[in-house]
Homo-oligomer: A and B are copies of this chain.
Amino acid sequence: MTTLDPALAAWFDHHDQRLHDDLFAFLRIPSVSARSEHRADVAAAASWLHGHLARIGFATQTIPTAGHPVVLAEWRQAQPGAPTVLVYGHYDVQPPEPLELWTTPAFEPTLRDGNIYARGSVDDKGQLWLHVAALEAHLAARGTLPVNVIVLAEGEEEVGSEHLAPFVEQHRQRLACDAVVISDSTMFAPGIPSILSSLRGLAYFQIDVTGPASDLHSGMYGGAVVNPAMALARILATFHDATGRVAIPGFYDAVRPFPDAVRDGMRRLPFDEPDFMRQLGVASLGGEPGYSTLERLWTRPTCEVNGMLSGYTGEGAKTVLPGTAMAKVSCRLVPDQDPAVVHRLLESHVRAVAPAGVTVTVRALHGGQAWRADLAGPLYEAAARALTAAFGRAPVITGEGGSIPVVNDFARLLGAPILLVGFGLPGENAHAPDEWISQDNFRRGMRAIAALWDELAAAGA
C-alpha cells in the first residue's frame, strides 16, 4: 500500500473544515502549564481533549497527578493479534509572552500565508490533534481501527514532565504496547518528511579549582603561587586535541558508530552550511574531524564549556590572583556512552592533568543516556511507507543534538520501539512569538498517521 486508503482520504477531504475548526477551538484554550493563573485553562484543555476522545469512541480517563492531569484514552477492539500502539503528546503550551511581538494574538488562531498561527499550533496541540483526527477518521469511515491504541496526553511537558515518568511506571502494565509514536518534532525542510532517529544524552559537570585560601594581590604573590584560573584554563585545554577530537582517555570507547546508511543519508540531506553559519553569525565552523556538520551535531559526542567564572569580572582592572575558579562542563553523549562512566573518565583525566598547588573537584550535576532508534524494525518500515503516501516522497532520517527526556523514560519503562515523526518546520517559532504550523503539513500529517496504522497492521508488527 503506497497511497492512503480512499475511504480515509475521502473522509479527510470531507471533514477538512471541521478538523480545522476543532483544532482552532483547542488552540483557543490558553493552557499555559507554567502559570498558576492558567490552572483552570490547563484543566479545560484536558477536559476538551477528554471529551473529544470519548466522543470518537475511546474509553477515556482524566487522571490527576500532583501537577496537571494526564488524559489517558484507550481503544482495544482491534482484531486479535493486532499490535497495540501508544500515542504520546502534550496539551499544555509555553507562555505566550512577549505578547507585543505576536502579529495576531497568541490564543486567537489565524490562518495566514498557508500557516496556522497560535501558541501551541505546532508544540504540541496541533500535532496531538492530528493524531486524534487520524483515529477519528478510521473509526468514522470504517467503524474500527486496525490497531489497538492508547493515547497518553500530559499537561506538564513545558514545565519538565515531572510527573510523567512516575505515571508511566505506575501504569506500566496498562501502557504495555508494541510501539510508541510521538509527533512533537520538526521535519528537516518543507516537503521532506522526517523520522527523528536519535537524541544525544548528557553528562553535566561542575569543575572547581581551589588554590590559596583567599584571593591574593597579584602583584605581591603573582609568579610563585599557582593561579587557579590559569590552572583551570590549562585543564580545560586538555579536553580536546589539536584536531578538535575529545582527548579524555577512554571517552570514545563505548561509542557505537551510527550505521553507514544513516550517515550516508545525513550527508545527502540538503543542508545549507553557509546559511547555517549566517544564522549563527560565525565565519567558520569547527568540531571533530572526519564528520560533516550534521553528523557532528547528531551522531557524535562532545565536550563543551557551558560557563566559567573566576576572580574579578567587573569593569576595568583589579589586580587579584583568584583563590578559586569554576567551570560548568557538559558532554553530549551518544549510544552507548554512560554518564556515570564519563564522570569517572573525566575525573581521572582531570586528576592526571591538574597541576600541584591547587585542588580540583569534578561534581556531576545532571546526566541522561542518549537514545537511538533501531531503524530496521517494521515500525519504521511502516512509517516510511505512510509518510511516502502522504508526502509523495520517502522520509529522511534526522537526528537531534539535544535530549527529549520523555523518550528515554518510554524506552526504559515500556521497552517498545519509539517512532518520532514530527510535522513542524524549521523557523516554526515554538517557544517564541508567532508560533505556527504549516496547514499543508497539518493535512498531510493527519493522513500520514492514518496510513501508519494501516501499514503497521499490515506489517503485523
A221: interface (CB < 8 Å)? yes
Question: Hey, which chain B residues are within 8 Å of A392, CB to CB?
Answer: none
Residue A132 interfacial (CB < 8 Å): no
A380 to chain B, nearest CB (A): 23
Which of the segments A104-112, A165-173, A280-288 contacts the partner chain?
A: A280-288
- Copies of this protein, total: 2
- Report the separation of the CA atoms of residues A302 and B216 in the bound assembly, to the nearest whole angstrom: 15
Segment at the interface with B among A23-31, A150-158, A315-323, A435-443? A315-323
Per the 8 Å Cβ criterion, residues 220-255 of A in contact with B are 220-227, 229-230, 232-234, 236-237, 239-240
Complex CA–CA separation, A212 to B236 (angstroms): 20
Of residues 318 to 367 in A, which have CB atoms within 8 Å of B's CB atoms? 318-322, 325-328, 330, 332, 355-358, 365-366
Task: Give the contacting residue for A286; candidates B233, B285, B355; CB below 8 A.
Answer: B355
Could you say which residues of chain B place their CB within 8 Å of the CB of A233? 232-234, 236-237, 305, 308, 327
A326–B366 alpha-carbon span in the complex (Å): 26
Within the complex, what minimum Cβ distance (angstroms) separates A22 from chain B? 33
Whether, in the assembled complex, A36 has its beta carbon less than 8 Å from a beta carbon of chain B, the answer is no
Q: Does A12 contact B (CB under 8 A)?
A: no
Nearest CB on B from A277, distance (A) = 9
Given known pairs A311-B305, A318-B307, A366-B317, the reply for A356 and B219 (CB within 8 Å) is no
Contacts of A17 in B (CB 8 A): none
A212 and B281 contacting across the interface, CB-CB below 8 Å: yes
* Stretch with Cβ within 8 A of B (4 or more), from A76-84, A293-301, A414-422: A293-301
**Given A212-B281, A223-B302, A234-B237: A218 and B330 interface contact (C-beta under 8 Å):** yes
- Closest Cβ of chain B to A250, distance in Å, is 19
- Of residues A236, A316, A365, which shows the largest number of chain B Cβ atoms within 10 Å of its Cβ? A236
Q: Which of B304, B309, B355 contacts A308 (CB 8 A)?
A: B309
CA distance in complex: A327, B240 (Å): 20
Q: Find out whether the CB atom of A307 lies under 8 angstroms from the CB atom of B330.
A: no
Q: Are A357 and B317 in contact (CB under 8 A)?
A: no
Most buried by B among A227, A240, A322: A227
Contacts A305-B310, A308-B313, A319-B330; A230 near B223 (Cβ below 8 A): no
The answer to whether B306 touches A225 (Cβ under 8 A) is: no
Name the residue on B nearest A201 (C-beta). Answer: B219
A280, B319: Cβ atoms closer than 8 Å: no
Please name 9 further chain A to chain B contacts, defined as beta carbons within 8 Å, in addition to the given A217-B401, A223-B302, A234-B240, sorted by A numbering. Answer: A211-B282, A213-B282, A221-B401, A222-B302, A222-B330, A222-B401, A285-B357, A306-B321, A308-B313
Which residues of A are in contact with B by a Cβ distance under 8 Å? Answer: 200, 202, 204, 211-214, 216-227, 229-230, 232-234, 236-237, 239-240, 280-288, 293, 296-297, 300-302, 304-313, 316-322, 325-328, 330, 332, 355-358, 365-366, 400-403
A-B contact pairs, 12 of them (CB 8 A): A219-B332, A220-B401, A223-B401, A224-B296, A230-B239, A230-B304, A233-B237, A283-B357, A305-B322, A307-B313, A308-B309, A317-B328
